[in-house]
């Protein structure tokens, strides 16, 4: 199942820099592993924002929820999820 996920990160401006740097390093490692595993298929930065659009390929809504809630930055994210389906006019299969 494919999902388009929009993540907006909102870390408090007064947060401890060492803590947030460590959190961002954990987030990077975790997200890159999900990409290598084929679960996080695409990742695009939103220009001028601390945000991204991503495409996840997972087996269920529950699996997506588990992955997203396991992200180290999850407590600081606003997330919206859109389920995707193959368009009948698409020339390439997803």
Q: Give residue 92's pLDDT band: very low, low, confident or very high (50, 70, 90).
A: confident
> Which domain does 8 fall in, by range?
2-84
CATH at residue 14: 3.30.70.1060
Residue 74: its pLDDT value, please?
98
What's this model's pTM, rounded to 2 decimal places? 0.93
Residue 81: its pLDDT value, please?
98
Has residue 90 been placed in a domain? no
- Count the domains in the chain: 1
Q: Render the chain in DSSP notation, one character per residue.
A: -EEEEEEEE---TTS-HHHHHHHHHHHHHHHHHHHHTTSEEEEEEPTTSSEEEEEEE-S-HHHHHHHHHHSTTGGGEEEEEEEE---TT-SS--
Residue 94: its pLDDT value, please?
75
Has residue 39 been placed in a domain? yes
pLDDT digits (tens, 9 = 90+) for 32-65: 999 999 999 999 999 999 999 999 999 999 999 9
Q: Give residue 80's pLDDT band: very low, low, confident or very high (50, 70, 90).
A: very high
Has residue 41 been placed in a domain? yes
């Amino acid at each position: 199942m494919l999902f388009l996920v929009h993540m907006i990160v909102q870390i408090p401006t007064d947060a401890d820099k060492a803590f947030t740097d460590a959190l961002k390093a954990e987030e990077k490692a975790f997200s890159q592993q999900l990409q290598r595993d084929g679960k996080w298929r695409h990742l695009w930065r939103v220009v001028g924002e601390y945000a991204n659009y991503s495409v996840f390929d997972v087996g269920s809504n529950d699996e997506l929820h588990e992955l997203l809630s396991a992200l180290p930055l999850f407590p600081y994210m606003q997330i919206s999820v859109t389920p995707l389906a193959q368009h009948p006019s698409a020339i390439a299969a997803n």
